[in-house]
Amino acid sequence: MALWAGRFSKEIDAGVNAFNSSISFDARMYRNDIQGSVAHAMMLGECGIITKEDSETIVKGLCEILKDLDDGTLEFDPNAEDIHMFVEAELTKRYGDVGKRLHTSRSRNDQVALDLRLYLRDEIVEIQGLVKKLAVVLTELAEKHTETVMPGYTHLQRAQPVTFAHHLLAYVQMLLRDLGRLEDTAKRMNVCPLGSGALAGTTYPINREMTANFLEFDAPMANSLDGVSDRDYCIELANTISIIMMHLSRFSEEIILWCSWEFKFIELDDAFATGSSIMPQKKNPDITELIRGKTARVYGDLQTLLVMMKGTPLAYNKDMQEDKEAIFDAVDTVKLCLETFIPMIETMQVKKENMRAAAAKGFINATDCADYLVKKGMPFRDAYKISGTLVAKCINENLTLETLPLEAYQEMTPLFTEDVYEAISLETCVKGRISQGGPSPEAVAKQIALVKSQLEME
C-alpha cells in the first residue's frame, strides 16, 4: 500500500507504478535524504512539534537505516515510488507510529529539492578537485616547455610563433574560469528549501534557520513557492559543466590533430590509446574522441533541464522528477571525462622537434619581417606588403624567409640588412613577444607565477 493510499479505493496499476517511480535513479541520494530527515526530525523535537523522545528514536532509526544501506544489509525496494517514500516506509516498518511522525510539516516537494541540493553540493566539490588537478598538471607541463617553440594557428593555418607552455596556459585560464563558475554555482545553490512544505509553508511552528544551520546552508530560501519549484541550481550546474566539457572537447580536438601523422606534436601513451580491429598500424585517440562526443550528451542534459522548466507553472510539477537523470548524467560524465583526461595528459610524450619543425614552415615569422621594417621607419602597411611579396617569392622558389638570399630582400628595400635573419629567427620572434600575456619566456613565467598562486600550488 502506498503511503498516500487513504484517498484511493484501488492499488496503483503496476505499469503506472513503474512509470511513476524514480527510485531506480534517485536511490543514489539516500545519504542526503537521511541527512535531511535527521535535521528535520531534530528540529521537530527542538520546537516541541514532536516529543524529544520520538525525535531521538527517529534519528536513531534513520542512522540504522543509513548504516544498513551503506553495508548492503538493506536493499532498495524497486517498487517504492522514490527514495523518500522508501526511507520513510522502512523507518515505519522498524519503529511503527514514531516513524509515521517524521513527515510532520514536510512534503516530498521540499524534501526532494533539499536532497538534490545536498547531493549536488558534494558533487561540485569533487568536480572542483578534478578541474583544479587538471589545471595543476597543465601548469607543471607548461613549466617544462617555456622554450618549446610551436606554431600558433588561426583558421588552423600557421599564424605566429608561440610556445607549447603558452598554448597550455590558455587552457589553464579556461579552467580557472570554470573553477570560478563552479564556486559561484555552489554559492547560489547553498540555500535551504526545507520548510517550504508542499508549496505554502506550514502551520507548525518550525524553525527553518535551525535546519538550514544543521545542514550547513547559508540561509533558508526566502519564498516557499520558489523553494519547491526552483531548479535554477540544476540548470546553472549543467551550464557550468557544459562549459567545462566544451573546454575539454576543444582540447581533445587539438590532441586528435596533434597525434595525427600530419602533426605528430605529441604521442599518447600506449595505455591511453586503442588499436584498430583491421588496420595493424593504427593507434587511435579514442579517449579524446569520446570526450568530444560526450560533450554533445552533456549539452543535451542542459537542454533537457531548460526545456523541462520552461512551461511548468508554480509550484511543483511531476515534470521536475526528470531533473535528476539529466543532472546526474552531466555530473557523472564530466567527472569520468576529467578522470580519464588527466592521466592521459600526464603520460603523453611531447615531440618538441616536430613542433619546432612545423614552426619553421608556414612563414609564421612574416609579421616579424614586416615589424623589422617598421622598426627601421617604414609605415606598417607598406612593410606588410613587402613581407607578403617576399612570402610569395619564397613559395614560388620553394624557399623560406630564413633561406631567402639577402639580395632578394634588398631588391624590395635597402632597409633590409644582414641582421634581418636574426630578426626573423623563430627564437627571436618568440622572445620578442614580451607583451603581457604573450608567449615570450619572461611573459610566460609571469603567467605561470600568477596561475600557481591562483591554484595555490606553492
Q: Which residue ranges make up the site for ligand ARG (CB under 6 A)?
A: 22, 26, 82, 108-109, 112, 316, 318, 320-321
Respond yes or no: is residue 276 known to be catalytic: yes
Cβ atoms of 160 and 152 within 8 Å: the answer is: yes
Please state the closest distance from residue 320 (CB atom) to ligand ARG, in A. 5
Task: Using DSSP bridges, classify how beta strands 219-220 and 191-192 pair: parallel, antiparallel or unpaired.
Answer: parallel
Smallest distance, ligand ARG to C-beta of residue 8, A: 14
What's the closest the beta carbon of residue 319 comes to ligand ARG, in angstroms? Answer: 9
Residue closer to ligand ARG, measured from CB, 320 or 444: 320
Of the pair 26, 230, the CB lying nearest ligand ARG is at 26
For the bound state, the minimum distance from the C-beta of residue 88 to ligand ARG, rounded and expressed in Å, comes to: 12
d(CA 172, CA 139): 7
CA distance 364 to 394: 13
Identity of the residue, 313 or 414, whose beta carbon is nearer to ligand ARG in the bound complex: 313
Give 265 or 316: the residue with its C-beta nearer to ligand ARG: 316
Instruction: Please name the helix (run of DSSP H) or strand (run of DSSP E) that holds residue 192, with its range, or none.
Output: strand 191-192
Which residue in this structure is represented by grid cell 560524465?
333
Residue 285's SS3 state is: coil
Q: Of the residues 9, 155, 277, 435, which is catalytic?
A: 155
Q: What is the CA radius of gyration of the chain?
A: 31
Active-site annotation holder among 24, 224, 247, 276: 276
Q: Pinpoint the alpha helices (H) of 47-75.
A: 52-70
The residue among 214 and 316 lying less far from ligand ARG, judged by its C-beta, is 316
- 180: Cβ–Cβ under 8 A, 6 or more apart, which residues? none
Least gap, CB of 113 to ligand ARG (angstroms): 9
In terms of C-beta distances under 8 Å and separation of at least 24 residues, what long-range contacts does 168-172 make, across chains too?
Answer: 168/138, 168/139, 168/141, 168/142, 169/138, 169/139, 169/142, 169/444, 169/447, 169/448, 169/451, 171/138, 171/247, 171/251, 172/135, 172/138, 172/139, 172/142, 172/451
Beta-carbon contacts of 246 under 8 Å, excluding residues fewer than 6 positions away, are: 295
In this structure, which amino acid lies at residue 291?
Answer: I
Residue among 323 and 371 whose Cβ is closer to ligand ARG: 323
Structure-block grid coordinates of residue 215: 545542514
Question: H-helix or E-strand containing 138?
Answer: helix 108-143
Partners of 163 in beta bridges = 149
Comparing CB distances to ligand ARG, the nearer of 22 and 185 is: 22
Rounded Cα distance between 346 and 394, Å, is 40
Active site residue 145: no
Task: Report the nearest approach of ligand ARG to the CB of residue 114 (Å).
Answer: 11
Report which residue type is found at 349.
Answer: Q
Q: How far is the CB of 162 from ligand ARG (least distance, A)?
A: 49
Q: 3-class SS at 71? A: coil
Tell me whether residue 10 or residue 318 sits nearer to ligand ARG (CB atom): 318
Q: Are 265 and 354 in contact (CB under 8 A)?
A: yes
Considering beta carbons, is residue 296 or 307 the nearer one to ligand ARG? 307
Give the separation between CA 161 and CA 181, rounded to whole angstroms: 31
Q: How far is the C-alpha of 404 from the C-alpha of 384, rounded, in Å? A: 17
Active-site annotation, residues? 155, 276
